[in-house]
Amino acid sequence: MLLNNASSAPRLAGCEHFLDVIPELKIIFSFSNLPFYSVSAYHLGNIRGALSWLPSIKIESEGARFISKRCKHEFYSGRSIDFWISLSIVIRKILGNKNMDLGITNKTALVCASSKGLGRGCAEALAEAGVHLVINARDRKALNETADSIRTRFNVRVQTVAADITSLEGQNRVLDVAGSPDILINNAGGPPPGMWSDWEKSDFLAALEANMLTPINLIKSLLPSMMEKGWGRIVNITSQSVKAPIAVLGLSNAARAGLTGYVAGTARQVAPHGVTINNLLPGVHATDRIKYLDLEVAKARGITVQEAAAERAGAIPVGRYGTRQEFGAACAFLCSQHASFMVGQNVLLDGGAINATL
């Protein structure tokens, strides 16, 4: 199978059925007539390494000419991303479309702030693993649209609660509907950026309420039933700022660090009862939150939003923003039977942006 450019993706996607009769798929990347930004030997090496464990696939190259930093960025934008989607479809077909069994089919999960962004990514990944959901968001329309999509795609039960999870009233409403779930995903939008001189006591109290005290209250409310059942998973979506504080996100830095300290002790107290608590630390992902931050940077510096986003992506070793699907997959694993030995950990998903050994 010869792939000359990104437009080959539709043809690749359309020939999946041939894999039923073809025992071996050979994918050849031809560089001889490509624009220099479409693909590179850098990516070819990554692809070959990533797929080396699949004996039914051979990857070859013809006339690879150069490796370009610009290529690294451009490859992940525009139509070329369709190629990755198409290749994924083909590989899953070869493997019989089998996913890793996470061992959580028919479990129930409460996923907070999950109508879009990282919360939605977590809800979708859990639903794909067979988990029934209670999802929450303030925007009723977006919440219902997400619920309908998940029900249709994954055939699981999805209940919705339109409420502000950071308010006590919202938390009580969500807990009334959720009952005694097996899994809790804590998530809430972060406070706005600013300078140290901008923030008053009320600003810190609001940040602590939303990003520290809200998840702690939900944890305390659901831990007893999890411990009684002898099984439970709690994942808190925090921030890479826990590892490396971000100057303009002082409110978020303080609140997330406080939650991290609470989890460190609590996770070890409840681990003997079959309950694990861990934190997921997102770096830059393609979410509304990051779009907002890019807009603020653009305004402050007098540049376009596209330029601000390009600069931010350029500072990430993988050269792009993360996706909600990638983040959700990591979350689902932490909720799985296979993660029972992970306790009180802070798992960083940032594309290598933070250069640290610990």
Residue 293: the pLDDT is: 83
C-alpha–C-alpha distance, residues 56 and 62, integer Å: 20
Low-confidence ranges of the chain (pLDDT < 70): 1-99
Asked if residues 59 and 29 have their Cβ atoms less than 8 Å apart, the reply is yes
Residue 203: the pLDDT is: 95
Asked if residues 127 and 328 have their Cβ atoms less than 8 Å apart, the reply is no
Asked if residues 320 and 78 have their Cβ atoms less than 8 Å apart, the reply is no
Name the DSSP letter for residue 190. P
The DSSP bridge partners found for residue 193 are none
Residue 43: the pLDDT is: 44
Q: For 160-195, what is each residue's pLDDT tens digit?
A: 999 999 999 999 999 999 999 999 999 998 888 899
| Element (DSSP H or E) covering residue 322 | none
Q: For 183-240, what is each residue's pLDDT tens digit?
A: 999 999 888 889 999 999 999 999 999 999 999 999 999 999 999 999 999 999 999 9
Tell me the domain boundaries of the chain. Answer: 2-94, 108-285+322-349
Residue 5: which residues within 8 A CB-CB, separation 6 or more?
33, 34, 35, 38
Residue 92: the pLDDT is: 53
Helices assigned H by DSSP within 67-139: 69-74, 80-94, 117-128
CA angle 77, 82, 86 (to 5 degrees): 150
- Is CATH 3.30.1330.10 what the domain over 108-285+322-349 is classified as, yes or no? no
pTM: 0.73
Residue 76: the pLDDT is: 34
Residue 175: the pLDDT is: 98
